[in-house]
A and B are shown apart, each in its own frame.
Chain A
Amino acid sequence: MATQATPTVSPVPGTNAIGLTRADYKGAPSTLCQGCGHNSISSQIIAATFELGLLPEQIVKFSGIGCSSKSPTYFLGRSFGFNGLHGRMPSLAEGALFADTSLKGIGVSGDGDTASIGLGQFKHLVRRNLPIVYIVENNGVYGLTKGQFSATAERGLELKKQGTNPYVPIDICMEALASNASFVARSFAGDPRQVKELIKAAFSHNGVAVLDIISPCVTFNNQEQTIHSYTFGKAHEEPLHEISYVPAREEITIEDFEEGTVREVTLHDGSEIILKKLDKYYDPTDRGEALHMLEQAERNGWLITGLIYINPNQPTLFDYYDLPDTPLNRLGEDRLRPPRETIEMVNSWMF
């Protein structure tokens, strides 16, 4: 995934390292509701990819079905994208990214798409550690079908027309960790800075980066006391740390931080995640601690955000294949069809 764009010297104002403007990273105008958390996340995807200086043509977008899955139309308009089937986006991405492993995949899904209909494919994608930024825009309800409970809705949640949710919720981060995810984060659409830094780090991570982003549905599930609402998030978000992403080409000025208050994680492409300690020290490389913390958060109804777990060195899906540097989809017949003289040999292998 060493695909960081080469920095150019003194870029033109308003342009990034590869000379593109923010407009080059935008998509069509959003048709989601005013105030939808997903729009805020789309903005941070635009900001993060612009600031990272990624070539839009180098990014491939994937989504399933639902409000969240509509959003890839609203960012990175120059990129290739595929809006697939409900809950089946992981398989689509797994196949497509084999075509050119230098591409950077970003999948956008929702809590229905990932935690209900697509839980199986999600967990298998995680298990295979496909290099992809996998964002779940998590709001606890089905928006496009008008406000039914999703699998992440908390037990006891009351919604108009739906009554009370009798089931315990599925925790996407915990599911990801249980499947040996190599990068797990939770964030809140109302905390754009953290969302952006996490997206940047996710793009630099060589493996699956699961971002469970609480993204309030202003139309169907934005009651003050429910965990998926803006009010709750604003009041109760508990960041594990202050996260900053530093690209490989920039020098890190560690002196800015007080000693013992910062932890750095070096990613595969040489970039760094800087985690500044807040109330207490949290080690995101300890899977046991991560699970324990999630368990506590779930039990106490805490909205914990930040980088929950990372293992930058876990083998990815592509490590199991000995693929050539030339993308598979650029190989011609001369490299794909065995030569004519082999056919007699093949016949001789048969009886």
Chain B
Amino acid sequence: MTHSTAVKSTAHKSNSHPVVNDFCITVGTVNGSGSQTANLTLLRALFRMGIPVSGKNIFPSNIQGLPTWYTIRVSKDGYLARVEREDIVVAMNPVSFGHDLASVTPGGAFYYADDMKFPITRNDIVPYAMPVKQLAREADVPPSLRDYIANMVYVGVLAQMLGIDLERILEALNFHFKGKEKPIRSNFDVVKAAAEWASANLEKRDPYRVERMNATEGYIMTDGNTAAALGAIYGGVQFAAWYPITPASSLAETLNEYLPQLRKDPVTGKQTYAVVQAEDELAAVGMAVGAGWAGLRAMTSTSGPGLSLMTEYAGLAYFAEVPVVIWDVQRVGPSTGLPTRTAQGDLTMAYYMSHGDTQHVLLLPGSVSECFEFGWRAFDLAERLQTLVIVLSDLDLGMNQWMTEKFTYPDRPMDRGKVLWEKDLEQLKGEWHRYLDVDGDGITYRTVPGNRHPRAGWFARGTGHNEYATYSESPQDWENNMLRLKKKFETARQLVPKPVIAEGKGAKIGLIAYGSTDPAVNEARDLLSAGGVETDYLRLRALPLNTEVNEFIQAHERTYVVELNRDGQLCQILRAELPAEADRLHSLAHIDGLPLTARWIVQKLLAQEEK
């Protein structure tokens, strides 16, 4: 959004034609001022009007005081990616007033709190002054809450000026305040008063309007961290350990919120899970590895810096063959980086995480509803493969509100993998060996503590071991074991979610992307197609690669790999794993902390095509 002043808009120059359900609103406020309630209310009301809508919170790493922006995109065509277009700007923060004013698209609308006495230096926009302080003063709330409720003024003014149903705003407030009558009423009173004031005092001079649609049927609105937690709950999560970190904290907090409601033991009414807030990420992953080893569906959730701390345990989980799930809600790195901005920069690290020869199964959810699906599937894979599975989400998916398909119930029973209990060992007459590959798929049988059979026990270790789980420094044992682990990784190829492929008309160009860039890629394909450039699109959903990926690359003259990092990490992995296709692969990688836009993809792709 900060680059938007440089963007020459080609659309909406005229005021004469209304622009319906196809524009962006950006709200500039002070962080910690309660504007999130107002912004989410607008977003949700638009969603309830049946209009496709997306919201992005571009916020600072700060609790209170720094400038923060929220952008809402209304798109009749269903595009949910960020766009660099400020059709409507709401300025509530004197510090960012100048920036906000400059950012308005020519012909756009500029709403601002009238207590900010700055000159309006542009005549190519439509300014609207709002009596924010006055309307907040008249609200029926204690003086301490006035600053918070003041944000409802722009909600009411925009509702009036754009045509947002007040009933839908009431529904949004009801949801936000969980049915609590008092805050709902006091907020809604301000919205109504502001709408009435706007009706009486403002003359509509800009083209932007909303109209009811029916394009959100079957969708819900939520964030990826909530979806991931709920998915894990349906996956039967039994143990979660975590340490607070932006932007992953809300994932574990959501577990704590919904587990008591969804996971009371049907037999005893007791809890069938345990969540522990650990002292750090080393302990969080250690606890999860311990629990996974002992037969629990175990997970932890973190972001890049935490993932770094989990590295040593990742190697142990891989080598001792312990099922465990790590959710990495990525933010911008290296180091502390930009903790409140989004990225896909942990791919390489997560894939090879730890020393020696390690490689991990990665799941790459591309939507909020897929966060739910991978929430439960991750456990099936981890237990089937007896290994660490890392799910790579990101801040954009994890923390922003998205319209997303309703969650669907898991379509298959839980896969608990090759676990032997007492009766199994009795049948085997106690003849079993922990690391002996009897099925030839690289996956061996395990027992878990609590199994009382006298032959059940075994000693897990990060040191060299043979097929019988005894300590070994034998070169042959070491090599055999590592080769079997590699074989297991080959088995993983067949088990991980297959990519989703969308085909264009006779396209020679392929696109590969994953995760939260999906909406931008979809929109870019439409823009390219409109300009005569057809593309096929493979959305990767997991590593290791399945054969479909190789076939897709082979079927195209050129394949562009789109991702939100500096180095084109997926492109590097593809080139390394499919060396014969390396020349066909082109990296379109970009990282500035903001969600990817379709325009960036189109520009960069066309620039490379012209070469």
Point out residues on A near B: beta carbons under 8 Å. 28, 55-58, 60-61, 72-73, 77-85, 88, 90-100, 102-103, 120-121, 124, 321-331, 333-338, 340, 342-343, 346-347, 350-351
B287 touches A95 (CB 8 A): yes
Residues on the A chain within 8 Å of B282, using CB: 88, 91, 121
**A84 / chain B contacts, CB cutoff of 8 Å:** 286, 289-290, 316, 462
Q: A128 to chain B: closest CB distance in Å?
A: 8
B280 CB-CB contact with A under 8 Å: yes
Q: Does B38 contact A (CB under 8 A)?
A: no
Query: CA separation between A88 and B453, bound complex, in Å?
Result: 29
- Our pick among B44, B238, B460 for the contact of A331 (Cβ within 8 Å) is B238
Contact B471 A337 (CB under 8 A): no
Q: Does B177 contact A (CB under 8 A)?
A: no
Do B290 and A328 have beta carbons less than 8 Å apart?
A: no
| Complex Cα–Cα for A95 and B199 (A) | 60
Q: Determine if A96 and B409 form an interchain contact, defined as CB atoms under 8 angstroms apart.
A: no
Given contacts A78-B457, A84-B286, contact A98 B296 (CB under 8 A): yes
Contact B238 A82 (CB under 8 A): no
Q: Whole-angstrom distance from the CB of A118 to the nearest CB of chain B?
A: 10
Binary CB contact string for chain B from 254 to 268 against chain A (1 if under 8 A, 0 otherwise) = 000010001101111
Q: Indicate if the CB atoms of A96 and B291 lie closer than 8 Å.
A: yes
Closest B residue to A65 using CB positions: B462
**Contact mask B190-213 → A, CB, 8 Å, 1/0?**
000000000000000000000000
**Is B291 touching A55 in the complex (CB atoms < 8 A)?**
no
Q: Which of B172, B410, B471 contacts A351 (CB 8 A)?
A: B172
* Contacts A94-B276, A324-B270; A56 near B221 (Cβ below 8 A): no
Q: Is the CB of A335 within 8 A of B449?
A: no
Whole-angstrom distance between the alpha carbons of A334 and B263 in the complex?
Answer: 11
Q: List A contacts of B470 (CB < 8 A).
A: 28
B262 and A330 within 8 A (CB) = no
Cβ proximity bits B446-478 to A, threshold 8 Å, 1 near / 0 not: 011111111011111111000000110000000
Interface centre among A73, A88, A91, A103 (most CB of B within 10 A): A91
With an 8 A cutoff between CB atoms, is B114 at the interface?
no
- Are A336 and B272 closer than 8 Å at their CB atoms? yes
Specify which chain B residues have a CB less than 8 angstroms from the CB of A95 in the assembled complex: 239, 241, 276, 286-294, 296, 298
Q: Is B271 an interface position by the 8 A CB rule?
A: yes
Q: How far is the CB of A329 from the nearest CB of chain B, in Å?
A: 3
> Within B51-82, which residues are at the interface with A (CB < 8 Å)?
none
With an 8 A cutoff between CB atoms, is B582 at the interface? no
Say yes or no: B290 contacts A94, CB within 8 Å. yes
Q: A83-B463, A99-B295 are in contact. List 18 more A-B contacts (CB 8 A).
A: A56-B457, A81-B460, A82-B320, A83-B461, A84-B286, A88-B286, A92-B287, A92-B289, A95-B288, A96-B294, A99-B239, A99-B291, A124-B279, A324-B270, A328-B238, A337-B235, A337-B236, A351-B222
Indicate whether B152 reaches chain A with its CB closer than 8 angstroms: no
- Asked if A120 and B459 sit within 8 Å, CB to CB, the answer is no
B residues in contact with A100, CB < 8 Å: 294, 449-450
Q: Which residues of B contact A79 (CB under 8 A)?
A: 457
> Is there contact, CB below 8 Å, between A324 and B267?
yes
A82-B460 in contact (CB<8A): yes
Q: Does chain A have a CB within 8 A of B122? A: no
Knowing A324-B272, A351-B47 are in contact, say whether A340-B409 is a contact too (CB < 8 A).
Answer: yes
Closest CB in chain A relative to B498 CB, distance in Å: 24
> Is the beta-carbon distance between A350 and B226 smaller than 8 angstroms?
yes
Task: Choose from A73, A91, A346 the contact partner of B407 (Cβ within 8 Å).
Answer: A346
Which B residues lie at the A interface, using CB under 8 A? 44, 47-48, 172, 175, 220-222, 226, 230, 233-236, 238-239, 241, 258, 262-263, 265-268, 270-274, 276, 278-280, 282-298, 312-313, 316, 320, 401, 406-410, 413-414, 447-454, 456-463, 470-471
Residues of B within 8 A of A94 (CB): 241, 276, 283, 286-287, 290
Question: When A92-B287, A328-B238 are in contact, do A347 and B220 touch as well, CB less than 8 Å?
Answer: yes
In the assembled complex, the CB of A71 is this many whole angstroms from the nearest CB of chain B, namely 12
| Residue in A closest to B300 when the chains form the complex, CB atoms | A95
A57 touches which one: B235, B413, B454 (CB < 8 A)?
B454
Alpha-carbon separation in the docked complex, A284 to B454 (Å)? 38
Are A120 and B272 neighbours in the complex by a CB distance under 8 Å?
no
A100 to B421, CA, bound (A): 14
When distances are taken between beta carbons in the complex, the residues of chain A under 8 Å from B263 are 336, 338
In the complex the two chains form, what is the Cα distance from A83 to B454 in whole Å?
A: 20
- CB B164 to nearest CB in A, in angstroms, measures 15
Q: Which of A80, A103, A335, A337 contacts B267 (CB 8 A)?
A: A335
User: A83-B462, A336-B272, A350-B221 are known contacts. Are A57 and B316 too (CB-CB below 8 A)?
Assistant: no
Q: State the Cβ distance, A144 to closest chain B Cβ, in Å.
A: 11
Which of A57, A330, A335 contacts B265, CB < 8 Å? A335
Chain A residues near B274: list those with CB within 8 A.
98, 321, 323, 328
Chain B residue with Cβ nearest A72: B459
A94 CA / B270 CA spacing, docked (Å): 20
Decide if A323 touches B295 in the complex (CB within 8 Å): no
Chain B residue with the shortest CB-CB distance to A325: B268
29 A–B contacts, CB within 8 A, in A order: A55-B452, A81-B458, A83-B459, A83-B463, A84-B289, A85-B286, A88-B282, A91-B241, A91-B285, A91-B290, A94-B276, A94-B287, A95-B287, A95-B293, A95-B298, A103-B450, A321-B274, A328-B239, A329-B295, A330-B450, A331-B272, A333-B236, A333-B414, A336-B272, A337-B235, A338-B263, A351-B44, A351-B47, A351-B172
In the bound complex, residues from chain A placing their C-beta under 8 Å from that of B221 are: 350-351
Residues in B neighbouring A330, C-beta threshold 8 A: 450
Do A93 and B449 form a contact, CB below 8 Å, given A83-B461, A99-B295, A335-B265?
Answer: no
Instruction: With both chains docked as a complex, state the minimum distance between the C-beta of B447 and any C-beta of chain A, in angstroms.
Output: 8
- Chain B nearest CB: distance from A265 CB in Å? 29
Q: A280 to nearest B CB, angstroms? A: 39
B176 to chain A, nearest CB (A): 9
The residue on A at minimum CB distance from B176 is A351
Question: How many whole Å from A52's CB to the nearest CB in chain B?
Answer: 17
Top 6 nearest A-B pairs (CB, nearest first) are A91-B286, A95-B290, A336-B236, A99-B294, A329-B295, A95-B287
Interface residue from A97, A99, A328, A336 paired with B414 (Cβ < 8 Å): A336
Closest chain A residue to B448 by CB distance? A329
Contacts of B288 in A (CB 8 A): 95
How many whole Å from A267's CB to the nearest CB in chain B? Answer: 23
Q: Do B457 and A57 have beta carbons less than 8 Å apart?
A: yes
Contact A329 B450, beta carbon cutoff 8 Å: yes
Q: Which residues of A contact B290 (CB under 8 A)?
A: 82, 84, 91-97
Establish whether residues A80 and B287, one from each chain, have CB atoms under 8 Å apart when the complex forms.
no
Contacts of A323 in B (CB 8 A): 270-271, 274
Q: Specify the chain A residue showing the minimal Cβ separation from B419.
A: A329
Q: In the assembled complex, which residues on chain A have CB atoms less than 8 Å from the CB atom of B295?
A: 99, 329
Give chain A residues whose Cβ lies under 8 Å from the Cβ of B410.
337
Report the separation of the CA atoms of residues A61 and B290 in the bound assembly, to the nearest whole angstrom. Answer: 12
| CB contact between B293 and one of A57, A58, A82, A103 (< 8 Å): that residue | A82
| Cα(A324)–Cα(B263), bound, Å | 12
Nearest CB on B from A334, distance (A): 7
Question: Which residues of chain B are near A56, meaning CB under 8 Å?
Answer: 454, 457
Chain B contacts of A331 at CB under 8 A?
238, 265, 272
> Using Cβ atoms and an 8 Å threshold, which residues of chain A touch B241?
91, 94-95
**In the complex, what's the smallest C-beta–C-beta distance from A9 to chain B, in angstroms?**
22
- Distance between Cα atoms of A326 and B267 in the complex (Å): 10
Pick the residue among A82, A96, A124, A329 that contacts B461 (CB under 8 A).
A82
Contact of B448 among A77, A99, A121 (CB under 8 A): A99
Contact partners of B265 in chain A: CB under 8 A: 324, 331, 335
A72 CB, nearest partner CB in chain B, Å = 7
* Cross-chain contact B271 with A351 (CB below 8 angstroms): no
A55: chain B residues within 8 A (beta carbon): 452
The answer to whether A338 and B462 touch across the interface, beta carbons within 8 angstroms, is: no
Give bound CA distance, A151 to B321, whole Å: 33
- With both chains docked as a complex, state the minimum distance between the C-beta of A123 and any C-beta of chain B, in angstroms: 8
Would you give the shortest CB distance from A349 to chain B, in whole angstroms?
Answer: 8
